[in-house]
Structure formats: C-alpha cells, structure tokens
C-alpha cells in the first residue's frame, strides 16, 4: 500500500525488474493499461486472473531480454496532477544481470488513489534513450 503518489511510483519501478520485490497486484489498480513500447504491442489488464504474481513472470513471453534485469529510477518529474491522479515523466535505466547497461528509457507512469491507496494505472514507455 502506497500512501503517496511518489511511493506508488517507486513501487512501480521496483516491480519492473526481476528481483520480485513487489507483487504486481500490490502495485497496480485495475484496469491497468500498457500502451506499448518500441518492440511491444499495448495491452490492458482488466481482471484479477490476468495479473501475474510478479511482473517478471511475463518476461519470458513479452520481453525475454528483461529476464534477470533490474530497473533503476534516474529521475522523474510531475507532468500533471489532480487530487486522485498523478502522471510522472520518468527517466530510468534497465541493467542486465551482469551489471552492464541494457538501455535507458523514458516513460509516463500514471498513478491513482483508490481507497487511500496509490497504485499505478498506466505505463507508457518511449523509445530508448541512447545516453544522457
């Protein structure tokens, strides 16, 4: 349970790697939308039985190169906020299991408050950033 939008953002980033630090259902509110990335189509998770226990459980089918990886948040800024939703522009890095950089990326991550609990409702990644 995240008490602030920023906590929900950190939870979302923690769930993006292979570490299994956060159960995916504890990080998202349904319905959840992924708009797609450079190499993936978008999808929606609308039912409880569609939620993997950990996000990394879907890596073998959706993103095999992510297996064993970790994600680190480099920076973020609020791009829009109201009382129940916040959209963050995120700059993050995905690291391979051996510690080498896989890619830098940007994403818009939107979190929402339901029943005093902030969780991610959408993830919108953009093409990777070469270096910054």
- pLDDT, one tens digit per residue, over 6-50 is 999 999 999 999 988 889 999 999 999 998 765 567 889 999 999
pLDDT, tens digit (0-9, with 9 covering 90-100), for 93-113: 999 999 999 999 999 999 999
Estimate to the nearest angstrom the gap between the alpha carbon of 6 and the chain centroid: 13
Q: What is the chain's percent helix, strand, coil content, to nearest 5?
A: 20, 45, 35
Give yes or no for a contact between 42 and 33, defined as CB atoms under 8 angstroms apart: yes
Question: What pLDDT is recorded for position 57?
Answer: 87
Cβ within 8 Å of residue 3, ≥6 positions away: 116, 118
Contact call for residues 69 and 102 (beta carbons, < 8 A): yes
Tokens, residue 63: 């993103």
CATH annotation of 5-125: 3.10.450.50
Question: What is the pLDDT at residue 128?
Answer: 67
User: What's the pLDDT tens digit per position in 4-15?
Assistant: 999 999 999 999
* Residue ranges of domains in the chain: 5-125
């Amino acid at each position: 349970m995240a008490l602030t939008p920023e906590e929900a953002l950190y939870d979302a980033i923690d769930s993006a790697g292979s570490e299994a630090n956060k159960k995916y259902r504890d990080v998202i509110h349904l319905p959840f939308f992924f708009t797609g990335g450079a190499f993936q189509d978008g999808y929606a998770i609308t039912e409880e039985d569609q939620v993997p226990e950990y996000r990394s459980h879907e890596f073998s089918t959706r993103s095999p190169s992510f297996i064993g990886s970790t994600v680190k948040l480099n920076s973020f800024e609020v791009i829009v906020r109201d009382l129940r939703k916040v959209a963050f522009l995120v700059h993050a890095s995905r690291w391979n299991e051996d510690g080498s950089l896989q890619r830098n990326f940007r994403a818009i991550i939107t979190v929402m408050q339901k029943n005093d609990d902030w969780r991610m409702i959408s993830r919108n990644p953009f093409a990777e950033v070469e270096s910054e």
